[in-house]
Amino acid sequence: MIILQKADVSPSEITPKEVFEDRRRFIKQAGLGLLATSALAHSNFLLAANATHQTTPVGHPSKLLPTLPNFTKTAYGKDEKLTSYEDITTYNNFYEFGTSKNEPAVNSKLFKPYPWTVSIEGEVKKNKVIGIDEILKLSPLEERIYRMRCVEGWSMVIPWLGFPLAQLIKWAEPNANAKYVEFTSLADSQQMPGVNLPILDWPYVEGLRMDEAMNPLTLMAVGLYGEKLPNQNGAPMRLVVPWKYGFKGAKSIVKIRFTEKMPMTTWMKAGPREYGFYANVNPQVDHPRWTQSSEKRIGAGLFAGRIKTQMFNGYAEQVGQMYAGLDLRKNF
């Protein structure tokens, strides 16, 4: 018999109760009520198939995934207190693998992120395809410790491994018409149970303005805590934009398209009044159903208070100039 252990992080402990309930209501209205039975059955199957899965020590990498050698540690976030590996890999929003925070870690166990290719399309010199091994050779890997702020009102501090997105863009050779970059995630109904239900308009699509994509902070992450990226965190490659809400970070990317017009992203389609294209962390602009002025840091403890949310998640000095003259209430 498989005994399910209680999750270390309860959703109600991280996200304010009213926010959690509102988001659940939004999900149901989007057609997600059918997910529970299907996801539970799929989870039980995967648990049975992985009954020998080891428990990860809190605060340490898994020791189960391959390490990424020869990366350089940087000064980014060197004074931050890291969120534990266990919390980072068991409290996830990755609806392709389920809507509950604990489901992606379970439902993604049999996901195969290798071999992997990414299609480069649109306003480029030439459409082409690049494999993950070739991508990893484009630029030396760096460890960057970034804050991650979820639109739901919780946050983490994550030691990502990756390289500047600008390096991949340089290789892609966009032309003068390229004003935006669109990222498309894998939508595989065989490996991703959530894709079989009308949760969102699959595949998941996100986008950045070209100057945002070229900003030195924008990272293409391929690992965390010294190891390859876990499946539930977006293996084998995901976008990390630390001054924006976490949903901007497209996971398991299979296509990068350069466009002249602003792309219509997945959450813009799902809730245009609630999720805008920019999604910059802004404590002065509330979500229509909850405040964004504070956040709960995961791993801080059940009785720890909320902390103030910083403009651009604390990265205003590096990115604020890109939005000079832009109405950040209108362009949320």
Contact call for residues 242 and 146 (beta carbons, < 8 A) = yes
Higher per-residue pLDDT: 95 or 17:
95
What letter does residue 152 receive in the DSSP assignment? Answer: T
Higher per-residue pLDDT: 45 or 11:
11
Who's near 274: CB < 8 A, 6+ residues apart?
Answer: 26, 267, 287, 288, 289
Q: Write the pLDDT tens digit of every residue in 194-249.
A: 999 999 999 999 999 999 999 999 999 999 999 999 999 999 999 999 999 999 99
pLDDT band at 17 (very low <50, low <70, confident <90, very high): low
The Cα–Cα gap between 41 and 274 comes to 32
Q: Write the pLDDT tens digit of every residue in 114-125.
A: 999 999 999 999
Residue 32: predicted pLDDT: 47
Among candidate residues 160, 188, 186, the one with its CA nearest the CA of residue 74 = 160
Whole-prediction pTM? 0.86
Among candidate residues 178, 329, 206, the one with its CA nearest the CA of residue 263 = 206
Share of the chain above pLDDT 90, in %: 78
Measured over the CA atoms of residue 120, residue 174, residue 142 and residue 243, the dihedral's sign is negative
pLDDT band at 30 (very low <50, low <70, confident <90, very high): low
Share of the chain above pLDDT 70, in %: 82
pLDDT of residue 35 exceeding 50, the answer is no
The Cα–Cα gap between 219 and 72 comes to 14
The Cα–Cα gap between 199 and 193 comes to 11
Q: Write the pLDDT tens digit of every residue in 52-97.
A: 333 344 567 877 899 998 999 999 999 999 999 999 999 999 999 9
Angle CA 288–290–291, to nearest 5: 105
Q: Is the peptide bond before 288 cis (omega within 30 degrees of 0)?
A: no
> What mean pLDDT is reported for the chain?
88
